[in-house]
Amino acid sequence: MKKYVFAAASTLALAASSIAQAGPEAEVLHWWTSGGEAKSVAVLQQEFSANGGTWTDMPVAGGGGDAAMTALRARVLSGNAPTAVQLKGPAIQEWYEEGVLADISNVAEAEGWDKVLPASIAAHMKCEGQWCAAPVNVHRVDWLWANAEILSANGIEMPTSWDEFNAAAEKLQAAGVIPLAHGGQAWQDATVFEVVALGLLGAEDFHKAFVELDPTTLGSDKMVAVFDQMRRMRGYVDSNFPGRDWNLATSMVMNGEAAFQIMGDWAKGEFMAAGKVPGEDFLCASAPGAGFLYNVDSFAMFDVDGADKQDGQALLAKLIVGQNFQKVFNLNKGSIPARVDVAMDEFDSCAHLSASEMTASSEEGSLLPSYAHGMAMRGAQSGAITDVVTAHFNSDMSSAEAVKMLTQAVANSL
């Protein structure tokens, strides 16, 4: 009997202590699984724990987040949405329209987000005037990365035009070097395509084609030239490219197996995580052409029951836009802070280039949303474009045929 009383008392004590310990919790769905990405998300995880939060990790591997978005849909459809989700661009508003996002305006207002975020970034985070997502960073997509030693050994400067890029690639190929490290996955094909498109179309026509979805620009001769360049790019990759993950392509540049990669600055996160030094081991330059393709990572909170989860969402949102987090996270991630008031003195030369060109392009009207990374249009349209890009890249389809398919596919998706 005594024993029973003791057991019951200790059960009560346990229950009481777990109530006392209950606090903010969050299950966080994201696709940050490469070396540099994992190091970055760990910063958020640590800050969350240091502030009393309990983090349940839900990583879904797959660059660009396609697999993560499939997992998200399955969870929401089964009525069991994760508390916080890496989500960006118009997909935020698409989920809001489904009626499944939580309103985080209380946190945003208390923390004065409108005062510390550029208006263009804040606009992506709002749904009918309320705050529905928290921005983490600004990634730039139109970058050229290179192995410094390979370039100097072959007497090659960072190309400043696509003609120079082609000349460099051909020289490298003749010397037995793989010119372009690439992974044959649809989103990587789309990444290269939009970078080439910005370079060859120019900012104004890029906007017409990939923001306004203007059929004349999509079907123009300039677009034929973009596909012609894509055909040349196909010739510069090695035969093992199908299915290769983007970070393995970055490793090829790092290890001297290939000269260049065209990829957003999450690639810099990989170089840095491996201890490589910009300007010494690897080079960064904006890809040929004027403009800046931005890709802002953000987290949206889903409607969930329970005070612990809601507290977790509020804490997470607050930390994400916090000044210290924005610095430390972005030093690891390769991006620059979304906040305008973070000191940049600890950031490297590539980040400084990104920050100054972002300001300049904003003034010149050439700051553009990345289509390949879900910032420019809704999923149905970007999916239609990517299908054509990848079908062209992986076949001998002519450029004229690709442009015809492109205009048709976009028209059908509207």
Size of the site for ligand BGC (CB under 6 A): 10
Angle (nearest 5°) at CA 218 between 217 and 222: 65
- Quick one: 63 or 179, whose CB is closer to ligand BGC? 63
Q: Which of 298, 379, 307, 309 lies closest to 80 in space, CA to CA? A: 309
CA separation for the pair 275, 197 (Å, rounded): 32
Residue 255: CB minimum distance to ligand BGC, A: 20
Determine the interface stretch with ligand BGC among 57-65, 209-217, 341-349, 358-366 (rule: CB under 6 A): 57-65
Residue 149: CB minimum distance to ligand BGC, A: 26
Residue 142: CB minimum distance to ligand BGC, A: 14
Q: Which of 252, 290, 246, 279 lies closest to 265 in space, CA to CA? A: 246
Which of residues 194, 297, 348, 357 is near ligand BGC by CB under 6 A? 297
Helix residue ranges, H only, 239-299: 246-254, 266-273
Q: How many CB atoms lie within 10 A of CB 265?
A: 27
Which residues, 356 to 385, sit near ligand BGC by CB under 6 A?
373
Q: How many CB atoms lie within 10 A of CB 30?
A: 22
Determine the interface stretch with ligand BGC among 59-67, 142-150, 165-173, 323-331 (rule: CB under 6 A): 59-67
Determine the interface stretch with ligand BGC among 51-59, 61-69, 123-131, 171-179 (rule: CB under 6 A): 61-69
Residue 69: CB minimum distance to ligand BGC, A: 11
Query: Taking CB under 6 A as the rule, which mask of x and - marks residues 318-357 in contact with ligand BGC?
Result: ----------------------------------------
Residue 61: CB minimum distance to ligand BGC, A: 9
- Quick one: 260 or 266, whose CB is closer to ligand BGC? 266
Q: 388-401 burial by CB neighbour count: b if 16+ within 10 A, else e?
A: bbbbbbeeebebeb
Q: Is 266 in the site for ligand BGC (CB under 6 A)?
A: yes
Query: Taking CB under 6 A as the rule, which mask of x and - marks residues 25-44 in contact with ligand BGC?
Result: ------x-----x-------
CA separation for the pair 91, 88 (Å, rounded): 6
**Cβ-proximal residues to 358 (8 Å cutoff; 6+ apart), any chain:** 138, 140, 292, 294, 336, 367
Q: Is 210 in the site for ligand BGC (CB under 6 A)?
A: no
CA separation for the pair 315, 153 (Å, rounded): 51
Residue nearest to ligand BGC (CB): 266
CA separation for the pair 296, 120 (Å, rounded): 10
State both tokens at 274.
Answer: 């491996």
Residue 139: CB minimum distance to ligand BGC, A: 5
Residue 398: CB minimum distance to ligand BGC, A: 30
**Cβ-proximal residues to 87 (8 Å cutoff; 6+ apart), any chain:** 72, 95, 133, 298, 299, 300
Q: Which of 303, 298, 374 lies closest to 83 in space, CA to CA? A: 303
Give, as one character, the DSSP assignment of residue 158.
Answer: P
Q: Is 64 in the site for ligand BGC (CB under 6 A)?
A: yes
Q: Is 271 in the site for ligand BGC (CB under 6 A)?
A: no
Which of residues 220, 295, 330, 332 is near ligand BGC by CB under 6 A? 295
State both tokens at 216.
Answer: 């004349």
Amino acid occupying residue 121: I
Residue 191: CB minimum distance to ligand BGC, A: 9
Which of residues 44, 48, 58, 65 is near ligand BGC by CB under 6 A? 65
Q: Is 288 in the site for ligand BGC (CB under 6 A)?
A: no
Half-sphere exposure of 313 (CA within 13 A, CB side): 27
CA separation for the pair 377, 213 (Å, rounded): 9
The alpha carbon of 80 is separated from its chain's Cα centroid by a whole number of angstroms, namely 25
Determine the interface stretch with ligand BGC among 63-71, 108-116, 197-205, 405-413 (rule: CB under 6 A): 63-71
Q: Is 139 in the site for ligand BGC (CB under 6 A)?
A: yes
Tell me the pairing of strands 282-286 and 143-147.
antiparallel
Q: Is 194 in the site for ligand BGC (CB under 6 A)?
A: no
- Quick one: 227 or 246, whose CB is closer to ligand BGC? 246
Binding site for ligand BGC (CB under 6 A): 31, 37, 63-65, 139, 266, 295, 297, 373
